[in-house]
Amino acid sequence: MRRDRRERLKDLRTGDGRPLAHHVEGQILRELERLELIVDQIKAVEVERDALIKEERVDTPVAMLMHLKGIGPEFAAVLTSEGLFRHFDNRRQLAAYAGLAPTPWQSGSIRREQGVSKAGNPRLRTTMVELSWLWLRYQPDTALAKWFQQRVERNGGRLRKPMIVALARKLLVALWKYATAGVVIEGAKMKTA
């Protein structure tokens, strides 16, 4: 991804010090061209996305989410296009749609949790887990972040990854309530204008 990548390719050597074969150099150049094309396409899509977001009204879910500190245009766009565009009757339906709902197992008197089902929307689930880590960084004074810290401390610092999935579920529900009903997340900081 460096600017001088083509010049550096000419100086590249094999492990035993020989210059690269011409066909290998040609193959690497073709891969670089593909990569540059993809980077240009991603930039074009981001420009279009940003233009659409600027056209949004202030009371739309995308605009509301972007006011929260730690949520940028990419997260806001993914959340609204992948999950918050639908109507959900309750938080359980939303968590199941995202694949963040718990999966109970029961046999006679034995009852166990098997973790999340992963049967829902994989892009929304991945985005929520990433957003949960960022939420802890940018919104450490919220009730959700404090809940996470208390649970991790209670477990002696272990089980951070399973707990981040639980935080992702709680955060998704809180963002859904915020985007649809205007219920502000307790302790959440807004971006300054």
Judge if 81 and 165 occupy the same domain: yes
**Does 117 share its domain with 172?**
yes
Q: What is the pTM of this model?
A: 0.75
pLDDT at 43 over 90: yes
Q: Give the range of the structural domain holding residue 38, as residue numbers without chain letter.
A: 5-53
Is residue 188 in some structural domain?
A: no
Contacts of 75 (CB under 8 A, 6+ apart): 65, 127, 130, 131
Rounded CA-CA distance 171/11 in Å is 49
In a domain, 46, yes or no: yes
Determine the pLDDT at residue 57: 67
Does 162 share its domain with 68? yes
161 is a domain residue: yes
pLDDT band per the 50, 70, 90 thresholds, residue 31? very high
| Domain total in the chain | 2
Is the same domain home to 103 and 133? yes
Closest CA to 73 of 108, 37, 48, 103: 48
Looking at the structure, tell me whether residues 39 and 65 fall in a common domain.
no
Residue 15: the pLDDT is: 87
> Comparing 8-12, 76-80, 88-92, which segment has the lowest mean pLDDT?
8-12
Residue 147 inside a domain? The answer is yes
List, for residues 94-141, the tens digit of each pLDDT value: 999 999 988 878 788 888 777 777 788 999 999 999 999 999 999 999
